[in-house]
Chains A and B, each alone.
Chain A
Amino acid sequence: MHIQRNTNQHTHRKTVFSAIILGVSLLLLVRLFVLQIADPSYKAFARSNYLRHVTDFPSRGLIYDRNGDLLVYNEAHYDLMVIPGQVGDIDTLLFCNLLNISVETFESRLLQARRHSRFRASVFERQISKTTFAAFQEKLFRFPGFFVQPRNLRKYTYPIAAHTFGYVGEAGPSVINNDPYYRPGDYIGISGIELAYEKELRGQKGLRIRMVDVMNRDIGPFQEGRHDTLAVAGKDLHTTLDANLQLYGEQLMQNKRGSIVAIEPSTGEILALVSSPSYDPGLLVGRQRTRNYRALQNDTLSPLFNRALMAQYPPGSVFKIVSTAIALQEGVINPGTRHNCSGIYHTRGISIRCRDHPSPVDALSSIQHSCNTYSSILFQQTINQPRFENIQQSFDHWRSYLESFGLGQMFGSDLSYELPGIVATSDYYNRIYGERGWRSQTILSLGIGQGELGVTPLQLANVTAAIANRGHFFTPHIVRAVDTPDNLQNRFGLANHIPIDRVHFETIAKAMQLVVEEGTASFSQIPDVTMAGKTGTVQNPHGENHSVYVAFAPVDNPRIAISVIIENAGYGSVWAAPLASLMIEKYLNGEVNRTWFEQRVKEADFITATP
């Protein structure tokens, strides 16, 4: 180099400039380090950008009746879903016009969805109509972040058995917090069969991970679909219900408050379960569910209340079939034991009225004429047996018989909201009267089915089935088979035996047959069908007495056991017995020939007629 080095005196400024370049580069690198390594949130954002978790909702299991008649099925509808993190710059006005909602509604729903999750899908609009769906599908690419999710809604072949089916609704926060299967917006059985068999009916959700581009167009499965799971359809249920009988029962119960429970004694299968007043199960489906539910809730007749399982009545005279069977087993009476009845029974300052009937009566005719005197005597004799040291012991012994009939406890059936009823314990009387303060006459009203007794219509029907079986019963249940009609549930296949000899049940059955043929229910005989029954009239301090009747038929080979309670309808022989006889005739013969009889029951009105 012969030429002299540059003479410019500002060469140090090269260092300043280089330092600026290095400093800025370092700044960029620090920022990139934060973005790419330190902050993981961008990876989640990226995934939510292009991965769409598509849930495939399985179709809910169908519900059939015992004869293969389809009762409950599904109908497709569409939910509009949103993933808030992906909602881009959309034409809000067009969107709102398509959905027919205001911009404020749009904003608030979006905010709500965003609060739930930026990355997960939330329901934006439920069950959009088919026309809206069509309009939307066309323009969906203009609304990134939104998609349409097909869902199923319940449909009902007949407007019957609403309480039994129950309904399906959205899983609430408590369910979602406790069961990871459910996500907000998922459907779950809330009551009835839908609740009890939720696991069987719901099936298994499928999950597909799809890739979408910026226009929300499906690009294909993520990683060849290796993370995808297929939806498994829910299992069908084959119920024990006889749709015709159920429908008929609901027709007979119109304008009446009360219930019908019909059981097949040989299996415990519930043939009909009517609670009246009822409602169309289709009301509690879809967008109008909440509104309709509120209306039903505010209805003074409480149509949502399932009387068949949850109403608890003192059984009244029908209880005599139980107390007499116990007395026979305990040996305090035999079928021939006779007592006089003067129309009133006195014991230590307590008197119980009876009606006018031939006297004296024996075990059979006391049931036939529903003699209160006879029942009171045998009850006192049972409780006062000298072999017990004290009343507590003898009462508990008597009470254990009631438990063996399924009274005072729950069956552990497959019905939701079953109630145990009330059978007081000796502790209860001890608390009220003191340990030495009560005698058999203190609790005498129990002997005629009044007092501290609460029995549900289901329990009453089951007692009748036990007598029909002459000493055992199968837990009443509503679903016979799951998945296929042959896949019977065996959990209800074990008989519950009552520690009373068969011979005594034969006596009771014979007495009940007399009730129908020559007694209080003779008005309700069915041509060519042998029936055993017992009427009851339950005292109601709030108004007209309740009309009660239990029966089974045919007497020698029972195929149906039934309990009927009609509130405020007076004597059991007048309304409950005729109605039960129609149900039995319908079930055994397939049709009812006593049309005038049927007409009379159907037209009876105890709701609008009662103040």
Chain B
Amino acid sequence: MKSQFNIFHNVDKPVIILYLILVSIGWLSIYSADFIEGQSGFFSLQTSYGRQLLFILTAILAAGAILMINARFFYSFSRIIYAIAILLLVSIFLAGVEINATRAWFRIGGFAIQPSEFAKFATALALAAYISNIRTKKPTKANIYKSIVIVLIPALLTLMQKDVGTTLVFSAFVFALYREGWISGIVLFMGGLAVTLFILTMIFNEFIIIGVLASITLLLMFFLRKRQGSAIRLIGLFVLLSVYVYSVDLAFENILQAHHKSRIEVLIYGDSDLQGAGYNLHQSKIAIGSGGFWGKGFLQGTQTQFNFIPEQTTDFIFCTIGEEWGFVGSITLIGLFLALLLRLIALAERQKSSFSRVYAYSVVSVLFVHFAINIGMTIGLVPVIGIPLPFISYGGSSLWAMTLMLFTLLKLDAERLEMT
């Protein structure tokens, strides 16, 4: 067959185009953020945009290689890949180096490699393989717990490396489990409620929240008074949530590390503490906010060019886009991500095998959580948690891992007719 010789046969073109656009936007933003007048060298490894160009080219080569691999490979080797990823995460404790207060890196030559980025890929494969396995396919309680353990192992390992951002990303797999019917809508709702209450507890006094919860409970009891037993259930829920809110507050006061606490406090108290933890967020909001409607133009962002934004090529790359391309640029970027995510959901839904579908949903979920948290933190919607913006932020590990995940999905999709 002719298709044997064309690696792009059946590969979804819209996703490839979106991928290339996002990677290009990322490179231009890094170029602008790291640009110094009079300094040349697109290909110089001294500049971050020079290195990112290298990362992009190798990522594209890797993507091509993935498209040449038989899709069954990923299913067959999913456990081995997962085992390797876990081993790498463990070996970090022996041979890793610490960067930005996070012990999550290997240093190889001049480059730092972050295994936790690849662990997301491995976990997605392992989870998909486990759920799609005929023997374990039934969502019994034991199976559900086992699937959660698959996610929890790498999540806990990254937490032990103080990489809270990556740990949070592992919660993305909830969406994949939800889609497969392994987790009910109520659990997802309760999860969402838990996250919302968590953030609200950070912002308001816990007793105010409990008070508001009590009022809502009373209102609901009034409206549902004709229903049998609703009052008892509502009161039970109220007690449960109150205990949760109170313990979150206790945990926040006693368990969280100082720098996480202060990052969350920044959200609570806004821009007041500009000399301490609030500085990053404040500068980020200034850069994005000053972009206005049309932006200041490429290489014209004053906050970007004069280095007011910390970590501006990595976690805060969105500042450069917001400042130089304005609201128009922000809306475009969010639109591109939205198009990619929705397209990937469509791809996931057309899979014949549950392995491919679970994997695809895992990828969409991970991308979505990265996207939402990263942009959310630059504009002060979520605490400053250091995770990169996929395909945009500077960094080889992130780009390679995301490319690997995406093109594995594309390969599975391209061969969906052959797989059952």
Contact with A along B273-305 (1 / 0, CB 8 A): 011100100110111111111000000001100
Given A13-B179, A29-B334, A37-B327, residue A49 in contact with residue B341 (CB < 8 A): no
Interface-lining segment among B52-60, B105-113, B235-243, B373-381: B373-381
Chain A residue contacts of B354, Cβ below 8 A: 8
Q: Is A433 in the interface zone, CB < 8 Å from B?
A: no
Chain B residue contacts of A50, Cβ below 8 A: 302-303, 306, 308
Contact with A along B186-230 (1 / 0, CB 8 A): 001000000000000000000000000000000000000000000
Separation of A11 and B307 alpha carbons in the complex (Å): 47
- B288-A35 in contact (CB<8A): yes
Chain A residue contacts of B352, Cβ below 8 A: 3, 6
Chain B residue contacts of A36, Cβ below 8 A: 288-289, 291-293, 322, 326-327, 330
Chain B residue contacts of A215, Cβ below 8 A: 307
Chain A residue contacts of B417, Cβ below 8 A: 3
- A3-B420 in contact (CB<8A): yes
Which residue from B175, B283, B338 sits with its C-beta under 8 Å from A22? B338
- A90-B275 in contact (CB<8A): yes
Q: Is the interface of B mostly helix, strand, loop or mixed?
A: helix
For this complex, 9 residue pairs linking A to B, each with C-beta atoms less than 8 Å apart, are A13-B185, A14-B349, A25-B337, A28-B375, A35-B289, A36-B292, A37-B327, A39-B289, A50-B303
Q: Is A213 in the interface zone, CB < 8 Å from B?
A: yes
Which residue from A3, A17, A32, A213 sits with its C-beta under 8 Å from B345? A17
Q: Is B173 in the interface zone, CB < 8 Å from A?
A: no
Q: Is A493 in the interface zone, CB < 8 Å from B?
A: no
8 Å CB contacts to B: which residues of A1-60? 3, 6, 8-11, 13-14, 16-18, 20-22, 24-25, 27-29, 31-33, 35-37, 39, 41-43, 45-47, 49-50
Residues of B within 8 A of A (CB): 175, 178-181, 185, 188, 274-276, 279, 282-283, 285-293, 302-303, 306-308, 322, 326-327, 330-331, 334, 337-338, 341-342, 345, 348-349, 351-352, 354, 357, 361, 364, 368, 372, 375-376, 379-381, 417, 420
- B331-A17 in contact (CB<8A): no
The 7 closest A-B pairs by CB, nearest first: A42-B289, A46-B290, A213-B306, A10-B181, A35-B289, A36-B327, A45-B286
Q: Is A214 in the interface zone, CB < 8 Å from B?
A: yes
Which residue from B188, B290, B331, B338 sits with its C-beta under 8 Å from A32? B331
Q: Is A89 in the interface zone, CB < 8 Å from B?
A: yes
- B306-A28 in contact (CB<8A): no
Given A36-B330, A49-B303, residue A87 in contact with residue B181 (CB < 8 A): no
Chain B residue contacts of A16, Cβ below 8 A: 178, 185, 188
- A32-B308 in contact (CB<8A): no
Q: Is A391 in the interface zone, CB < 8 Å from B?
A: no
Min CB distance B366 to A, Å, is 13
Separation of A325 and B417 alpha carbons in the complex (Å): 129
Q: Is the interface of A mostly helix, strand, loop or mixed?
A: helix
- A28-B381 in contact (CB<8A): yes
List the B residue with the shortest CB-CB distance to A213.
Answer: B306
Min CB distance A571 to B, Å, is 73
Please give 19 more A-B residue pairs, beta carbons under 8 A apart, in addition to A10-B180, A89-B279, A211-B306. A8-B180, A10-B181, A14-B345, A14-B348, A17-B175, A17-B364, A18-B342, A18-B345, A21-B342, A21-B345, A24-B368, A31-B376, A32-B330, A32-B379, A36-B326, A37-B293, A45-B290, A46-B286, A219-B306
List the A residue with the shortest CB-CB distance to B289.
Answer: A42
Chain B residue contacts of A6, Cβ below 8 A: 349, 351-352, 357
Min CB distance A107 to B, Å, is 11
Chain B residue contacts of A10, Cβ below 8 A: 179-181
Chain B residue contacts of A88, Cβ below 8 A: 274-275, 279
- B292-A43 in contact (CB<8A): yes
- A21-B322 in contact (CB<8A): no
Which residue from A11, A18, A29, A214 sits with its C-beta under 8 Å from B306? A214
- A49-B302 in contact (CB<8A): yes
List the B residue with the shortest CB-CB distance to A13.
Answer: B179
List the A residue with the shortest CB-CB distance to B416.
Answer: A3
Separation of A509 and B174 alpha carbons in the complex (Å): 114
- A24-B289 in contact (CB<8A): no
Chain A residue contacts of B287, Cβ below 8 A: 46
Given A10-B180, A13-B178, A13-B179, residue A214 in contact with residue B420 (CB < 8 A): no
Min CB distance A43 to B, Å, is 5
List the A residue with the shortest CB-CB distance to B327.
Answer: A36
Contact with B along A204-225 (1 / 0, CB 8 A): 0000000111110001000000
- A33-B290 in contact (CB<8A): no
- A24-B290 in contact (CB<8A): no
- B286-A42 in contact (CB<8A): yes
- B345-A211 in contact (CB<8A): no
Separation of A213 and B304 alpha carbons in the complex (Å): 10
Separation of A300 and B73 alpha carbons in the complex (Å): 103
Chain A residue contacts of B175, Cβ below 8 A: 17, 20
Min CB distance B239 to A, Å, is 28
- B327-A33 in contact (CB<8A): yes
Chain A residue contacts of B357, Cβ below 8 A: 6, 8
Separation of A456 and B357 alpha carbons in the complex (Å): 104
Separation of A14 and B175 alpha carbons in the complex (Å): 10
Separation of A74 and B303 alpha carbons in the complex (Å): 39
Given A6-B351, A24-B372, A219-B306, residue A37 in contact with residue B292 (CB < 8 A): yes
List the A residue with the shortest CB-CB distance to B301.
Answer: A46
Min CB distance A336 to B, Å, is 92
Separation of A213 and B306 alpha carbons in the complex (Å): 4
Which residue from B275, B331, B341 sits with its C-beta under 8 Å from A21? B341
Chain A residue contacts of B326, Cβ below 8 A: 36
Min CB distance B67 to A, Å, is 23
List the B residue with the shortest CB-CB distance to A14.
Answer: B349
Min CB distance B127 to A, Å, is 16
Separation of A3 and B353 alpha carbons in the complex (Å): 11
Min CB distance B345 to A, Å, is 6
Separation of A344 and B372 alpha carbons in the complex (Å): 110
List the A residue with the shortest CB-CB distance to B353.
Answer: A6
Given A8-B180, A35-B288, residue A29 in contact with residue B331 (CB < 8 A): yes
Chain A residue contacts of B337, Cβ below 8 A: 25
List the A residue with the shortest CB-CB distance to B290.
Answer: A46
- B179-A17 in contact (CB<8A): yes
Min CB distance B36 to A, Å, is 11
List the B residue with the shortest CB-CB distance to A4.
Answer: B352
Separation of A213 and B283 alpha carbons in the complex (Å): 13
List the B residue with the shortest CB-CB distance to A32.
Answer: B330
- A46-B342 in contact (CB<8A): no
Given A89-B275, A89-B276, residue A8 in contact with residue B181 (CB < 8 A): yes
Given A28-B372, A31-B379, residue A87 in contact with residue B275 (CB < 8 A): yes
- B289-A46 in contact (CB<8A): yes
List the B residue with the shortest CB-CB distance to A15.
Answer: B345
Separation of A37 and B290 alpha carbons in the complex (Å): 9
Separation of A3 and B419 alpha carbons in the complex (Å): 11
Separation of A36 and B288 alpha carbons in the complex (Å): 6
Min CB distance A90 to B, Å, is 7
Chain B residue contacts of A17, Cβ below 8 A: 175, 178-179, 345, 361, 364
Min CB distance B64 to A, Å, is 29
- B286-A32 in contact (CB<8A): no
Highest count of chain B CB atoms <10 Å: which of A16, A90, A211: A16
Min CB distance B38 to A, Å, is 12
Chain B residue contacts of A41, Cβ below 8 A: 289
Separation of A88 and B283 alpha carbons in the complex (Å): 11
Chain A residue contacts of B274, Cβ below 8 A: 87-88
Chain A residue contacts of B334, Cβ below 8 A: 25, 28-29, 32
Separation of A420 and B37 alpha carbons in the complex (Å): 68
Separation of A552 and B293 alpha carbons in the complex (Å): 79
8 Å CB contacts to B: which residues of A162-220? 211-215, 219
Chain B residue contacts of A21, Cβ below 8 A: 338, 341-342, 345, 368
Min CB distance A110 to B, Å, is 10
Separation of A87 and B178 alpha carbons in the complex (Å): 48
Min CB distance B34 to A, Å, is 14
Chain B residue contacts of A32, Cβ below 8 A: 288, 322, 327, 330-331, 334, 379
